Chains A and B, each alone.
Chain A
Amino acid sequence: MTPKRMLLRLGPVCAVAALALAGPNLAAAAEPVWLSTQLRPIEEAQQVRTVILKDSPVKAQFIADQPASFTVRVEAEAKTGHHVVSLLGALHGELEPFVPLGLLQPLDSLVPRLAADKIPNSLMQLGKFGTQHQYYIPWMQATYIMAANRKALPYLPKGANLDHLTYDQLEQWAAAIHKATGQRMLGFPAGPSGLMHRFFEGYLYPAYTGGLVTTFRSPQAVAMWESFRKLWAQVNPNSTNYGFMQEPLLSGDVWIAFDHVARLQDALRKRPNDFVAFPAPSGPKGLAYMPVVAGLAIPKGAPHPAQAAALIAYLSKPSTQILTLKASSFFPADALPTPGNLEPGLKAEGDAVAKMLAAPDAKPALLPVGLGAKGGEFDKIFLDTFQRIVLRHEDPATVLKREGDAMQRILNDVHAKCWAPDPPSAGTCQVD
């Protein structure tokens, strides 16, 4: 084959490759473009396009993207003034950096239109980022809960209420199972792909110390790590390999587990008769939990702002919210009760979430805010502290002193202010 012939043959291949690289031509979109970091898996994105958007009054083009490229895209559109995206769907922490940059359009006029949707005020407030204006409308939420095999229930300590356990009772429960079966059946997602850092940031720390950053090395924190060390004696040693707790629950290696609702879902949906879902335990300062809130926002300069607003109103309707719940592992942002006709596994999770939110001592602790690219290093502080104190038996006070200094350096680098559960700060959040 002559080189010329070869080029001729390769021509069409190159053209196809170039088209594939170029991706969908966003600039030509006549319909509003909805860019989202959520509902990214293929099946979920397909559900959005074929089910959720089917009866929408506004035809929209749904595009899911990685959080990192989402941020780059929104900032690039603002910088160049070439606006393509009309609606943003992202987590609270992903939208937050846009507010000080003035990239989001205030949605205050939209709020009265959504009154019938009963979005709880606490969630609505989050969408204001501590300002006077509403910058996003809560779209859906998720959180972390506990799940247990029914075989574990007979070992519950006397007087313990599954829906309002304390961390001490959890320890006694796991110890009783350990004694009876010879196995450590409590599990945490502390493996490389697990979300263990969220347990420390949103659950253990606020439940024991009432704060996170400000109380990082307080005397309560030292006591907390000492009692968590005691709890860890009842934890399956494979926990440092676990990523998604639904797997060891289904295999029977673990009877009691903590994880994100989406990562327990498989167990509860596949064998709803074998597993129960229940709220996270509470500590001396209450039942701390971490809401994961996703919101809908309109970027300033959006080509179709009115249609985007209509889309937000449609997505907030209770009937659409139920469709969203079925398509994803997120729960509705509205305060309506979980419908009874839902499949049992999802309903069990929904009920556990509702009970946790409604607990009298419930204390929401947000995902870290304002850390930007330093989020990973912030999470590392908690994982390192855990490894050193619990797995390597180093002295808690010494470790907390050193890791606290490292945490302060990170906060100083990005000038991050305190977020809930810590009280609001005027300047950079300080590790006391």
Chain B
Amino acid sequence: MRSRTLPYLLIAPASLLLAVLFLWPLVQTAFLAFRAPGPLGVDVWSLAHVRRMVSDFDFHTALFNTLGLVVVVVPLQFILALTMASMLRHIRAGRSLVLWIWSIPLGISDLAAGLVWLAILSERGYLNTVLHAVGIISGPRSWLTYETPGVLFAAIVATELWRATAIVLVILVAGLDMIPREYAEAAEVFGATPWQRFRRITLPLLRPSIQTALILRTVLAFEMFATVIAIGGRNFPVLASKAYNWQYFDQNTGVAAAYALVIMGAAIGATLVYLRLLRSPEQAR
């Protein structure tokens, strides 16, 4: 009897905490987004906040910027991390040291990472100092203004690649380590090329790790905030920064909550797509 209830008792505190600190605020967010003052001064169900959000002049820009970042950053990070993880497989001595160095950015907060790249790219930053020293530019040049949206976008992509590729790498390395080397060796005996071994053996067996890595990365990419604020400020609106602005500057919690729901919806949608596309075949489970 005791052994049957014990597991539930043990997970109860964590479940309770998550319910109180995640589920309940989520319900409240939905309330905030869909309740607005009605004609009698009492809050009624309403789409007013949602309409307000959609009619916001840079709602589409923010949506486009966010999707653009996700579409560019996530695949790049995935390819980079997969390449790095595959290279690690062939290193014997010092493998842990290399892995350790590669995952250093994981320990840096996203705001700090944004500020690091701001220090590099600002008007009097390291990049301009170097360009000036080698004679490419004659004076300070601005890279991160509303006049240079392309550079702004590239700078944010670079920051994200630098900061968050490591999380994908760590998951993929763990996945690769779980694949027995015998499969590859057997394939080699039958004359499979390295590319064939990678395509036919490594990738399919790595699928569960890829799924985890992509879901985690995409969800975080939709929430991208501090790096964007540090580098782009108001010049590069994304969904999360719009939610922040509506809450703190424009003081309209309802519209901020509507933005938060859009982010959540996008993240859930992406997760469902990954779950479906990267489903492990029945017999492999």
Residues of A within 8 A of B (CB): 182-183, 190-192, 236-238, 240-241, 251, 253, 373-377, 379-380, 384, 387-388, 391
Contact = CB atoms under 8 A, between A and B. Distances in A.
B126 to A, nearest CB: 16
Interface of B: 57-58, 123-124, 139-140, 142, 144-147, 229, 233-235, 245, 249-252
Nearest to A385: B57
A373 B233 contact: no
Given A190-B234, A377-B250, 9 more contacts: A182-B139, A191-B234, A192-B249, A238-B123, A241-B145, A241-B235, A375-B251, A377-B252, A380-B250
A376 B146 contact: no
A356 to B, nearest CB: 28
Contacts of B142: 236-238
A240 B251 contact: no
Q: Identify the interface centre among B123, B142, B229, B233: most chain A CB within 10 Å of its CB.
A: B233
B57 A240 contact: no
A253 B234 contact: no
Q: Identify the interface centre among A236, A240, A374: most chain B CB within 10 Å of its CB.
A: A240
A387 B233 CA distance: 14
A375 B146 CA distance: 26
Contacts of A238: 123, 142, 144-145
B252 A388 contact: no
Contacts of B249: 192, 376, 379-380
A46 B140 CA distance: 41
Contacts of A191: 233-234
Contacts of B140: 253
Given A238-B142, A384-B57, A387-B58, A192 B251 contact: no
Contacts of A183: 139
A307 to B, nearest CB: 36
Contacts of B252: 376-377
Nearest to B147: A237
Q: Which A-B residue pairs are the 10 nearest by beta carbons? A: A237-B145, A376-B251, A376-B250, A380-B250, A237-B147, A377-B250, A192-B233, A192-B234, A241-B233, A238-B142
Contacts of B58: 384, 387
Contacts of A379: 249-250
A374 B144 CA distance: 32
B228 to A, nearest CB: 11
Contact of B145 (A192, A240, A373): A240
6 contacts: A183-B139, A192-B233, A237-B147, A373-B251, A379-B249, A384-B57
A253 B125 CA distance: 13
A240 B235 contact: yes
A372 to B, nearest CB: 9
B139 A240 contact: no
Contacts of B145: 237-238, 240-241
Contacts of B235: 240-241
Contacts of B146: 237, 240, 391
A157 to B, nearest CB: 25
Q: Identify the interface centre among B144, B146, B252: most chain A CB within 10 Å of its CB.
A: B146
A249 to B, nearest CB: 14
Contact of B57 (A253, A374, A375, A388): A388
A241 B229 CA distance: 10
B132 to A, nearest CB: 15
Nearest to B231: A241
Contacts of A391: 146
B62 to A, nearest CB: 13
Q: Identify the interface centre among A182, A241, A376, A387: most chain B CB within 10 Å of its CB.
A: A241
B35 to A, nearest CB: 15
B123 A253 contact: yes
B57 to A, nearest CB: 6
A260 B250 CA distance: 20
A191 to B, nearest CB: 6
Nearest to A184: B142
A367 to B, nearest CB: 15
Contacts of A376: 249-252
Nearest to A384: B57
A376 B249 CA distance: 6
A240 B123 contact: no
Contacts of A192: 229, 233-234, 245, 249
A375 B248 CA distance: 12
A240 B124 contact: no
Contacts of B139: 182-183
A238 B142 CA distance: 7
A376 B245 CA distance: 10
A238 B123 CA distance: 9
Contacts of A380: 249-250
Contacts of B234: 190-192, 240
A191 B144 CA distance: 12
Contacts of B124: 251, 253
B210 to A, nearest CB: 37
Contact of A377 (B229, B233, B251): B251
Nearest to B124: A251
A253 B123 CA distance: 9
Contacts of A182: 139
A407 to B, nearest CB: 13
Contacts of A240: 145-146, 233-235
